[in-house]
């Protein structure tokens, strides 16, 4: 275990110990809140190779990042992604390697992920009704995702969390069904407020917005919730349900600003180190990785220097044109 003093500290004294690494911008789904129906994906030359992704992961861990989450796009559709997972899983100093996935490939890959050292998994699931699931994801097959969730449960992950983005008029009527589904299988469930990332015309984000408080009110019809003290520094606020080991989380970028606790950075698959989900402040790590004159020290120093760019907070406004035109699949959600 690395016992050096933290090297990644921003101007506001926040220590960065958590990084999300996007391993692809591609996806087999087109969720209505995340992507446009027709998407142009990045040409291969602009995307970090698996080796480059590993270099970034290693540098972050050497600088004190303890938790690394692989995401995308859909991380499990990246060719040979398991090679990267296996190598990252062996990094000394990394306390936790996790992944966020849409579940479509888990039937095949849940066990290899567990064996490669992934201890926790987040699986996105917005509906338990085949038709509705298809309408939200535009191309997903619910039965396949459910088989993937079963495979993940059988693979013995320490914790599995379901993520559900709740949209008014879409799936708010499934809040209790999703809760029962997760709780009955011993999984946590986080409800996410939709964020204005990328320009979409499929729905009006202000009209479909469903706040975490509204979701919690619906849950409280069936569950007695008590707040859980959680020190992960993340945006989720957790509640325990009486009589159950499962927890319900709320990710509320609008109704509850979590910036003062932020301990994280993101790296896009183009190698942009993003200092904040809701701002464009970033540093180009790909240029450093591909500069023959730079080595591992330069990469580490570039990441350390980037901390000065981390803004104090984000400002999301659902009624305005999005400030952030990159889609969530580019950001690494
Ligand atoms: N494809 C994987 C998945 O869906 O789990 C990983 C990437 S996805 C971008 C990560 C998470 O971001 C998912 O739980 C998804 O529901 C969420 N997400 C995507 N677009 C969002 C948006 N505009 N607002 C809030 N959450 C969003
Ligand atoms: Fe794909 Fe995940 Fe975005 Fe859905 S939320 S389109 S599964 S990247």
Q: What percent of the chain has pLDDT over 70?
A: 86
Best of 22, 120, 165, 255 for a ligand 1 pocket test (most atoms within 8 Å of beta carbon):
165
Q: Whose CA is nearest to atom 4 of ligand 2?
A: 31
Backbone angles phi, psi at 74, to 5 degrees: -100, 110
Q: What is the mean pLDDT of the chain?
A: 88
How open is the CA angle 114-95-77, to the nearest 5 degrees?
40
Give the per-residue pLDDT at 263.
82
- Ligand 1 shell residues, CB under 6 Å: 27, 33-34, 71-72, 74, 100-102, 124, 163, 165, 192, 194-195, 197, 328-329, 333
pTM for the model stands at 0.91
Neighbours of 159 (CB within 10 A): 14
CA distance 208 to 193: 10
CA distance 333 to 266: 9
Encode pLDDT of 125-135 as tens digits. Answer: 999 999 999 99
Measured CA to CA in angstroms, residue 169 lies from 205, 215, 230, 253 at distances of: 12, 13, 31, 20
- Nearest Cα residue to 261 out of 64, 20, 15: 15
Encode pLDDT of 159-192 as tens digits. Answer: 999 999 999 999 999 999 999 999 999 999 999 9
Ligand 2 contact via 74 beta carbon (within 6 Å): yes
Residue 275 pairs with which residues in a beta bridge? none
DSSP state of 49: P
């Amino acid at each position: 275990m690395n016992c050096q003093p933290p090297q990644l500290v921003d101007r506001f004294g926040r220590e960065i110990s958590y990084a999300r690494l996007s391993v692809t911008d591609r996806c087999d789904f087109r969720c209505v809140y995340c992507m446009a129906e027709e998407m142009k994906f990045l040409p291969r030359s602009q995307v970090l190779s698996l080796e480059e992704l590993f270099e970034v992961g290693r540098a972050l861990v050497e600088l004190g990042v303890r938790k690394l989450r692989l995401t995308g796009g859909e991380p499990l559709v990246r060719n040979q992604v398991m090679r990267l997972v296996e190598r990252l899983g062996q990094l000394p100093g990394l306390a936790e390697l996790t992944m966020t996935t849409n579940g479509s490939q888990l039937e095949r890959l849940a066990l290899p992920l567990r064996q490669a050292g992934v201890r926790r998994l987040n699986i996105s699931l917005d509906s338990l009704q085949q038709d509705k699931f298809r309408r939200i994801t535009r191309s997903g097959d619910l039965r396949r995702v459910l088989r993937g969730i079963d495979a993940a449960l059988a693979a013995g992950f320490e914790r599995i969390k379901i993520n559900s983005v709740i949209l008014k008029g879409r799936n708010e009527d499934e809040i209790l069904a999703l809760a029962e589904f997760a709780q009955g299988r011993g999984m946590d469930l986080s409800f996410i407020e939709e964020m204005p990332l990328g320009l979409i015309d499929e729905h009006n984000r202000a009209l479909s917005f469903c706040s975490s408080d509204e979701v919690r009110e619906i849950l409280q019809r069936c569950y007695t919730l008590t707040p859980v003290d959680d020190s992960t520094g993340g945006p989720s606020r957790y509640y325990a349900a009486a009589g159950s080991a499962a927890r319900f989380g709320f990710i509320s970028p609008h109704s509850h600003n979590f910036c003062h606790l932020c301990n994280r950075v993101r790296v896009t698959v183009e190698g942009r180190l993003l200092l904040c989900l809701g701002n464009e402040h970033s540093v180009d790590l790909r240029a450093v990785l591909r500069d023959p004159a730079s080595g591992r020290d330069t990469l580490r120093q570039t990441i350390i220097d980037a901390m000065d760019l981390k803004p104090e907070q984000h400002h999301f406004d659902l009624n305005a044109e999005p400030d952030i035109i990159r889609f969530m699949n580019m950001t690494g959600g």
